[in-house]
Amino acid sequence: MKKLVSTLLALALVFCGLPAFAAEAPSLTVAVASDLHYNLPEETLTRFTDDPLYGHANRRAAMENESGFIIDAFLADCAEKQVDYVLISGDLADNGRSTPEEHFAVRDKLLAFEKETGIEVFVIDGNHDLGSGAKTDIADFKEIYKDLGYDHALSARSEDCSYTADLGEKYRLIALDSCDPTVSTEDGMSPAKVRWAVKEAKAAYQDGRFPLLMMHHNLLDHLPLQRIFSHDFIVRSHLATAALFADTGIRVVFTGHEHCSDAAVYTAPSGNVIRDFATTSLTMYPLAYRVMRFTDEEISYSEEYISSIDTAALSRAVRGYTPEILSAMEADLTAFSKQYLKKGVEYRLSLSLTMEKSGIEAGSPFYPLVDAAFSSLRSLLAMPLYGEGSAAEIAAAYGIELPLTPFVTGWDLATELVSAHYAGSEHYDITGPEVTALLRLASLILKYVPDGVSDALFTGAAGAIVNALTLREAKALCRSVFGGVTPGEVFAAALVSGLVYGFANDADGLDDNNGIFEGCGKTDRAYALSQKLIAVFNKILQLVKNFFAVIGKRIGIYRSMR
Ligand SMILES: [Fe+2]
Ligand SMILES: [Fe+2]
């Protein structure tokens, strides 16, 4: 009996172990990081609010002083995972245009990593990296990063930073410069750049390689209607470009810029499929990068998180980190980075809800009106959501019931949605308590904020307008103040529309962070078939042309004989 059990156990072990032995080794594994936004560390930590743990959360909500240490941890992870290559899709330095020293520091880290591990790094520029007439321009960028991609370039565009390079035996990277060096954020895609990428993708296939595209700006929507709401972050004519790329056999695109972890899929009218993997900023919550594993049969991807940084070195480099901040980072870096992001977003939004940012001068008749609206809005977002003196109490007075959620304030609830967008795989139930509470809070803001403005202020402002202005000017001013353009209304409308269009629930069937789909080898058959059909069509077209040419000649001869 014992023998039978041990034999069965041995067999079970063998069979359990079999898939691991039988599994095909990946033919390519790459780590993809984006938007490193490296900052030179401050000498002493600047604090923006009096929050004891997150007072240094800046308006970009980026972990700037920590950035170098996060990059170090990322590279250590890549070395440990023994990836084949590291790809970085732009915004390497935060102030790269004006401060080349930031680029030098990033470059040195990447070069040291290459030297130590033998793993090659490939970079492309983002909008923060260079500018025409800036301290770092296109030529400077290529010179600084000459050993980080350009040294392996098979072809390169002289007008920008684009280049191609082989990855392993089967793949070719097309690193496309999507930036416009004369503007700061929006894309600089041009027909020439698109044509070049298409040409390079075709060349890759001719050389027996699958093309992989990397660029800074997004190709597909990673926000609901991104081309409308966040148009600077996605390439122009994005769907036409995506269709063209898909029909050229590009299956995978790596992008950044939007600072979100999101995977989007698009099927061209021809049936060809392309997927855009937007990778979140490495130095913002959730401090993540992607690992993508390619075989002919399938491509799998996973989100990897930086779980610790060298806090001792950080506190040596920058004065002002308290033991409490350092131990909060050490206890749970992801949780720390999330609170840091939420506090940074809150700080940024609260800054925009001030009279200085409103552009309304102190002597303006609107000043007291808008001032009162802002202070109502700020207090509503900052007060406790539940309990005595809470937003829930005020909501109840308007007949609105705020469902119970774990969130403490309106800010806490609103910034939760923002952090979910950055982290990806956001699957809030549209009818769940969080989304319902947020929608109801937004509707409460729209009701409560105008109520916070007294009649005296309204009539006072109206009287001042009538006295001081012509009718036309008055109309223009009224539109600017009452016509749905106060930051409170914009904020609420942005939240509501975002939610309605799926901001909180990514349900496109392609998980943002972890998944698997068909490999280039599989989809290549469809591509090859379409190419064959095109070739057959071209042959028929040529035959028809020849036929008419012959007929034309005959007619010409016949006419000349007459
Ligand atoms: Fe960025
Ligand atoms: Fe960017």
For 464-475, write each residue's pLDDT tens digit: 655 655 555 545
Q: How far is the CA of 341 from the centre of ligand 2 (A)?
A: 17
Closest ligand relative to 67 C-alpha: 1
With a cut of 60, say whether residue 32 has pLDDT above it.
Answer: yes
Can you give the pLDDT at residue 227? 66
Closest ligand relative to 284 C-alpha: 1
Q: How far is the CA of 502 from the centre of ligand 1 (A)?
A: 23
Token digits of residue 492: 């609420």
9: Cβ contacts below 8 Å, ≥ 6 apart: none
Can you give the pLDDT at residue 223? 77
Q: Are 337 and 287 in contact (CB under 8 A)?
A: yes
With a cut of 90, say whether residue 445 has pLDDT above it.
Answer: no
Of 107-111, 265-269, 322-326, 342-346, least confident by mean pLDDT is 265-269
Token digits of residue 271: 């049936």
In a 3-state reduction of DSSP, which class is residue 160? coil
- pLDDT band, very low/low/confident/very high, at 561 (cuts 50, 70, 90): low
Q: How far is the CA of 91 from the centre of ligand 2 (A)?
A: 6
- pLDDT band, very low/low/confident/very high, at 453 (cuts 50, 70, 90): low
With a cut of 50, say whether residue 295 has pLDDT above it.
Answer: yes
Q: How far is the CA of 216 from the centre of ligand 2 (A)?
A: 7
With a cut of 90, say whether residue 123 has pLDDT above it.
Answer: yes
Can you give the pLDDT at residue 330? 98
Q: How far is the CA of 562 from the centre of ligand 1 (A)?
A: 75
Can you give the pLDDT at residue 491? 53
Q: How far is CA 467 from CA 156, 460, 461, 470, 532, in A?
A: 65, 11, 10, 8, 76
Q: How far is the CA of 341 from the centre of ligand 1 (A)?
A: 15
Can you give the pLDDT at residue 22? 39
Closest ligand relative to 259 C-alpha: 1
Q: How far is the CA of 255 from the centre of ligand 2 (A)?
A: 10
Report the DSSP pairing between strands 298-305 and 288-294.
Answer: antiparallel
Q: How far is the CA of 183 from the centre of ligand 2 (A)?
A: 12
Q: Are 31 and 305 in contact (CB under 8 A)?
A: no
Q: pLDDT over 90 for what percent of the chain?
A: 56
Q: Are 130 and 188 in contact (CB under 8 A)?
A: no
The per-residue b/e assignment along 408-439, b for 16 or more CB within 10 angstroms, e otherwise, is ebbbbbbbbbbbbbbbbebebeeeeebbbbbb
Closest ligand relative to 178 C-alpha: 2
Comparing CA positions, the residue from 245, 275, 198, 199 lying closest to residue 519 is 275
**Protein residues placing their CB within 5 Å of the ion ligand 1:** 35, 91
Q: How far is the CA of 539 from the centre of ligand 2 (A)?
A: 45
Can you give the pLDDT at residue 20? 38
Q: How far is the CA of 471 from the centre of ligand 1 (A)?
A: 45
Q: pLDDT over 70 for what percent of the chain?
A: 79
Q: How far is the CA of 411 from the centre of ligand 1 (A)?
A: 24
With a cut of 50, say whether residue 402 has pLDDT above it.
Answer: yes
With a cut of 60, say whether residue 125 has pLDDT above it.
Answer: yes
Query: What letter represents residue 177's amino acid?
Result: D
Q: What is the CA radius of gyration of the chain?
A: 29
Q: How far is the CA of 258 from the centre of ligand 2 (A)?
A: 7
Can you give the pLDDT at residue 503? 57
Can you give the pLDDT at residue 19? 37
With a cut of 80, say whether residue 534 has pLDDT above it.
Answer: no
With a cut of 70, say whether residue 325 has pLDDT above it.
Answer: yes
Length of the chain: 562
* Spatial distance between the Cα atoms of 485 and 126, rounded to a whole number of angstroms: 31
* Spatial distance between the Cα atoms of 213 and 178, rounded to a whole number of angstroms: 11
* Spatial distance between the Cα atoms of 172 and 167, rounded to a whole number of angstroms: 5
Question: Cα angle vertex 209, ends 206, 212, to 5°?
Answer: 120
Q: How far is the CA of 89 from the centre of ligand 1 (A)?
A: 10
* pLDDT 10s digits, 39-61: 999 999 999 999 999 999 999 99
Q: How far is the CA of 281 from the centre of ligand 2 (A)?
A: 9
- pLDDT band, very low/low/confident/very high, at 21 (cuts 50, 70, 90): very low
- pLDDT band, very low/low/confident/very high, at 531 (cuts 50, 70, 90): low
Answer whether the bond into residue 286 is a cis peptide, omega within 30°.
yes
* Spatial distance between the Cα atoms of 178 and 180, rounded to a whole number of angstroms: 7
With a cut of 70, say whether residue 544 has pLDDT above it.
Answer: yes
Closest ligand relative to 185 C-alpha: 2
Can you give the pLDDT at residue 120? 98
The more confident residue out of 459 and 153 is: 153
Q: How far is the CA of 373 from the centre of ligand 2 (A)?
A: 33
Dump the DSSP string for 239-297. HHHHHHHHHTT--EEEE-SS---EEEEEE-TTS-EEEEEEPPBTTSTT-EEEEEEE-SS
Mean of all residue pLDDT scores within the chain: 84
Type and span of the H or E element at 407 = none
Can you give the pLDDT at residue 111? 98
Can you give the pLDDT at residue 119? 98
- pLDDT band, very low/low/confident/very high, at 414 (cuts 50, 70, 90): confident
With a cut of 70, say whether residue 530 has pLDDT above it.
Answer: no
Q: How far is the CA of 88 from the centre of ligand 2 (A)?
A: 12
With a cut of 90, say whether residue 433 has pLDDT above it.
Answer: no
**Hey, how many other C-beta atoms are within 10 angstroms of the C-beta on 232?**
15
Q: Provide the 8-state DSSP code for 402.
A: P
The more confident residue out of 64 and 450 is: 64
Q: How far is the CA of 506 from the centre of ligand 1 (A)?
A: 22
- Report residue 265: phi and psi, to 5°: -125, 145
* pLDDT 10s digits, 484-511: 344 554 455 445 544 444 555 666 778 8
Q: How far is the CA of 389 from the centre of ligand 1 (A)?
A: 40
Q: How far is the CA of 38 from the centre of ligand 2 (A)?
A: 12
Comparing CA positions, the residue from 428, 406, 408 lying closest to residue 417 is 428
Chain centroid, CA 425 distance in Å? 13
Comparing CA positions, the residue from 84, 97, 483 lying closest to residue 294 is 84
Closest ligand relative to 184 C-alpha: 2
Q: How far is the CA of 171 from the centre of ligand 2 (A)?
A: 26
Q: How far is the CA of 181 from the centre of ligand 2 (A)?
A: 12
333-352 and 323-331 helices cross at what angle (nearest 10)? 120
Q: How far is the CA of 74 from the centre of ligand 2 (A)?
A: 19
Q: How far is the CA of 125 from the centre of ligand 2 (A)?
A: 9
Closest ligand relative to 130 C-alpha: 2
Q: How far is the CA of 60 from the centre of ligand 2 (A)?
A: 12
* Spatial distance between the Cα atoms of 102 and 125, rounded to a whole number of angstroms: 14
Token digits of residue 82: 């023994």
User: Quick one: average pLDDT of 409-417?
Assistant: 88
* Spatial distance between the Cα atoms of 282 and 422, rounded to a whole number of angstroms: 11
Can you give the pLDDT at residue 318? 98
User: Quick one: average pLDDT of 239-253?
Assistant: 94
Query: What letter represents residue 542's amino acid?
Result: Q
With a cut of 60, say whether residue 560 has pLDDT above it.
Answer: no
User: Quick one: average pLDDT of 443-463?
Assistant: 70
- pLDDT band, very low/low/confident/very high, at 16 (cuts 50, 70, 90): very low
Token digits of residue 244: 């063209």
With a cut of 70, say whether residue 528 has pLDDT above it.
Answer: no
With a cut of 90, say whether residue 364 has pLDDT above it.
Answer: no
* Spatial distance between the Cα atoms of 437 and 116, rounded to a whole number of angstroms: 51
User: Quick one: average pLDDT of 519-525?
Assistant: 73
* Spatial distance between the Cα atoms of 281 and 474, rounded to a whole number of angstroms: 45
Q: How far is the CA of 214 from the centre of ligand 2 (A)?
A: 14
* Spatial distance between the Cα atoms of 149 and 119, rounded to a whole number of angstroms: 12
Q: How far is the CA of 274 from the centre of ligand 2 (A)?
A: 22
Can you give the pLDDT at residue 7? 47
Comparing CA positions, the residue from 419, 427, 445 lying closest to residue 346 is 419
Output the pTM of the full model: 0.80
User: Quick one: average pLDDT of 301-310?
Assistant: 98
Q: How far is the CA of 313 from the centre of ligand 2 (A)?
A: 28
Closest ligand relative to 34 C-alpha: 1
Closest ligand relative to 279 C-alpha: 1
Q: How far is the CA of 36 from the centre of ligand 2 (A)?
A: 10
Type and span of the H or E element at 440 = helix 433-451
